[in-house]
A and B are shown apart, each in its own frame.
Chain A
Amino acid sequence: MPGEPDSCAAGGGVPAGAALPGEAGAGSRPRLAEPLVEGTVDGVRVAVPRGATILEAARLCAIEIPTLCHHEGLPPEGSCRLCLSETRGSLAVSCMYPLRESGFAALTRSPAVLEARRYVLSLLVCRAPRAPRIRKLADEYGVSPDPRFMRDPDGCIRCGRCVRACRASGPEAIALCGRGFARLVTGPFGRPPEACVGCLACALACPTGKIAFSERDGVRRIWEREFELAPCPECGKRAFTREQLAFLGGGASALCHSCRRRLMARELGKAAALEAPGGPALLRAL
């Protein structure tokens, strides 16, 4: 699983059960209450709520803009620079650029955009030359690593998605630390993060599959730490760590996803039956 990250699109990387707080998506979703503004993306006419980003407008037009650091469920950071597009004659970061008035005309594949994107990719591929997603993009754009920057190809592009995922749904146990070439995602003091609850939000949010984890014999290993997985009270499957359940608080249960869904369906069915004529009698008979 760490080797094959999912797409960066909707809901990509945050596990169910680790609910995102309301503010997390703020800024990354068009505000539906806003009036519409009209314009074009690559010549295609589109109307979006004011404040929507170029990326959102492009997606409405089914025009693909490649992204890496962007995640629908997390606040945008604009750190990878892959999603560049052109507007008003200059380059813009599509995942952050808000469309505020009608008449916008964004270009997602102009020569300037493609040139800039190739350059960005030539840098990213130096950091994560083996990550499947990066390789695919590099192939697609015909880009090879710039040897001047091939210093430490550790597989991390410093996009910060892991950190934002941890902040949004976990204890913010990790951070991008240091600066320049030495910048690195790590726990405090460069040690395994003490606050980590083993929820995997970081690993699942990572676009390159840099954050390794494993599960064996009811023990999950991540960030050089070990976490015991609590058995699902229904089926015994182990889905959550004890630390994660304690962190979520409020008596969060270790129910696995499928049992959770099944029980909920049963409850909903009961409720629906109770509403129906003759329902209560029927339920008693069962």
Chain B
Amino acid sequence: MAGPDLSALPEILESRPADPSELLPLLTMIQGRWRHLPQEALRAVAARLSLPLARVFAVASFYRSLSFQPKGERLVQVCCGTACHLKGARAVAASLEKSLAVRMGATREDGRVTLESVNCVGACALAPVVMLDGTVHGKVSGPGAAGLRL
């Protein structure tokens, strides 16, 4: 796979001060733009913030919201926290795996969708919860979740 087009990168880097505390904001922006962290982008971040590449990689590899493999165009996250688990998250997850034709934790081959589990998104009262591209959908039912077509 040829490297992604990073021509938008300098603008992103320069949108924040060249300070080490900007590491996470920059990584989040890059993840948002390319749906993963291209290696060249991590190098550019390290150079911009004058940080060792090892430290940039350590932070990048720590957070689950950051990834090295491109995520799908749409991101479906099933909450499997305690409340959602008790309210049937497992059935929701199973029906989404079926309807979206992708396994939990994977990205569909056409790159259209990634299905993930998360642990509590802080909306337990709405359990079971599914997040679609960052938007919370509460009280989804197993079969209801299957209605989500991407």
Identify the A interface with B (CB < 8 A).
Answer: 163, 167, 171-179, 187-189, 193-195
Min Cβ gap A90→B in Å is 28
On whether the beta carbons of B54 and A179 are closer than 8 Å, the reply is no
Q: How far is the CA of A176 from the CA of B60 in the complex (A)?
A: 11
CB pair B54–A193 under 8 Å, yes or no, is: yes
CA distance in complex: A178, B66 (Å) = 11
B54 pairs with A172, CB closer than 8 A: yes
Quick one: which of B10-48 are within 8 Å of A by CB? 39, 42
Shortest B21–chain A CB gap in Å is 17
B58 within 8 A of A: yes
Which residues from chain A contact B98 at a C-beta distance below 8 Å? none
Residue on B with the closest CB to A188?
A: B57
CB < 8 Å neighbour of A178 from B39, B55, B61: B61
Chain B 48-68 near chain A by CB (<8 Å), digits 1 or 0: 000011111110011000001
Min CB gap A176→B, angstroms: 6
A186 CB to nearest B CB, Å:
8
Residue from B55, B61, B62, B68 within 8 A of A172 (CB atoms) = B55
In the complex, 13 of the A-B residue pairs with CB atoms within 8 angstroms, ordered by the A residue number, are A163-B54, A172-B52, A172-B55, A173-B52, A174-B54, A175-B54, A177-B61, A177-B62, A179-B61, A188-B42, A188-B56, A188-B57, A189-B68
Q: How far is the CB of B66 from chain A (nearest CB, A)?
A: 11
| Min distance, Cβ A98 to any Cβ of chain B, angstroms | 26
Residue among A173, A176, A177, A194 having the largest count of chain B Cβ atoms under 10 Å? A177
Q: How far is the CA of A189 from the CA of B61 in the complex (A)?
A: 9
What residue of chain B has the Cβ atom nearest to residue A171's Cβ? B52
Shortest CB–CB separation between residue B62 and chain A, in angstroms? 5
Q: Is the interface of B mostly helix, strand, loop or mixed?
A: helix
Q: Give the Cβ gap from A6 to chain B, nearest Cβ, in Å.
A: 25
Q: How far is the CA of A167 from the CA of B68 in the complex (A)?
A: 25
Nearest-neighbour CB distance to chain B for A274, whole angstroms, equals: 45
Q: Give chain B's interface residues, CB within 8 Å of chain A.
A: 39, 42, 52-58, 61-62, 68
Name B57's contact: one of A163, A167, A171, A177 (CB within 8 Å): A177
B28 CB to nearest chain A CB (Å) = 17
Contacts A177-B62, A189-B57 known; list 9 others, CB within 8 Å: A163-B54, A167-B52, A175-B57, A178-B61, A187-B54, A188-B42, A188-B53, A189-B39, A189-B68
In the complex, chain B residues whose CB is within 8 Å of the CB of A188: 42, 53-54, 56-57
- Complex Cα distance A170/B78, Å? 43
Identify the interface centre among B42, B54, B57, B61: most chain A CB within 10 Å of its CB: B54
If the complex has contacts A188-B53, A194-B53, A195-B53, are A175 and B39 also in contact, measured as CB distance less than 8 A?
no
Residues in B neighbouring A189, C-beta threshold 8 A: 39, 57, 68
| Chain B nearest Cβ from A165, distance in angstroms | 13
CA distance A169 to B53 in the complex (A): 16
* A243 → chain B closest CB, angstroms: 15
Q: Is the CB of A173 within 8 A of B62?
A: no
Q: Which residues in B have their C-beta under 8 angstroms from that of A176?
A: 58
Contact, CB under 8 Å: B62 / A195: no
A177, B56: Cα distance in complex, Å: 10
